[in-house]
Amino acid sequence: MTDLFSLEGRSALITGGSRGIGRMIAAGFLAQGARVYISARKAEACNQTAQELSALGHCVSLPADVSTPEGMHSLVAAYAKHEPQLDILVNNAGAAWGAAFDEFPEKGWDKVVDLNLKTPFFLTQMLAPQLRKAAELKPAKVINIASIDGVTVNPQETYPYAASKAGLIHMTKRMALRLIQDNIVVSAIAPGAFASDMNRDARDHASEVSAQIPAGRIGVDDDMAGAAIYLASRAGDYVVGATLVVDGGVSFAR
C-alpha cells in the first residue's frame, strides 16, 4: 500500500504553486518523494515558496505568467532545462472576478476564462511530448484544478469563474478520452472551501464558513494533498476523466 501512493522518482510541475491549493499539493507531492517544480507569476513569491518547500525535498521555482502564450512557452522551456520528461502536470493557476451582472466588465471575463480554461488546454498541449515520454514507462498524469462552483451554483456573482470551472470539468473528460490513448491519465479536483488568497472568506472567517459545511470545517492542507496524491500515484491510474469533489459535502447541501 505504501508503493500504491508513492511518487518516488517522479517529476511534477504545478502552476500557481506558490500559495494556496498549489502549495498544498506541492508539499504533499514532495512528502511522497516527487521532484517538484512550481510556477507562479510573481517570481519573488515563487522563489520564496520553493526555498521553504525544499526542506521537504527537491523543489525548484520556475516563475512564469501562464496567462499568455509567451509565458507558457517560457515555462515549458525552463522546465526542459531540468527534466527530459514530465510525469505529473497540475493545472492549478487560476483567477476569479466578481461584479454585478449589469456592471461585469469584459476585461474581467477574458482574464478569468483565458487563465482558467484556455491555459490548461494549451499548456498541456505544449507539454504533451514530455508527458508522452514519461508515459512510455508508466501512466503520466494531468490533474486540472476546477471548483465546486463549476458543479453547483453559489450566491456570488462570479459569472466567468463558475462558467470556466464548469467548462474545465467538461474539458477534462474530453481531454481524457484522447490522451488515455497515449497512456496519459487526465482527471480533475473540484475543491470546496480552503483557506487561500482567492478564498478569503475561508481564510479570514473560517468559523462562519464552516457552519455552512456538512463536515463542520473548511478543508486543510492534507485534505487537498491527499486527493492530489491519490490521482497522481498508481492508486489513481484507473480514474480517467473524473472530477474528484473535495468539499466536505457542501455541494450536496446547496
CB-side exposure of 238: number of CA atoms within 13 Å?
2
> Is 161 in the active site?
yes
- Reduce the DSSP state of residue 37 to 3 states and report it: strand
Residue of 37, 79, 161, 230 with catalytic role: 161
Mention every residue, 6+ apart, whose C-beta is less than 8 A from residue 88.
7, 10, 11, 12, 13, 29, 34, 140, 141, 142, 143, 232
CB-side exposure of 212: number of CA atoms within 13 Å?
13
Question: Could you count the other beta carbons within 10 Å of the beta carbon of residue 218?
Answer: 24
In whole angstroms, what is the distance from residue 63 CA to residue 173 CA? 29
Q: Which residues are catalytic?
A: 161
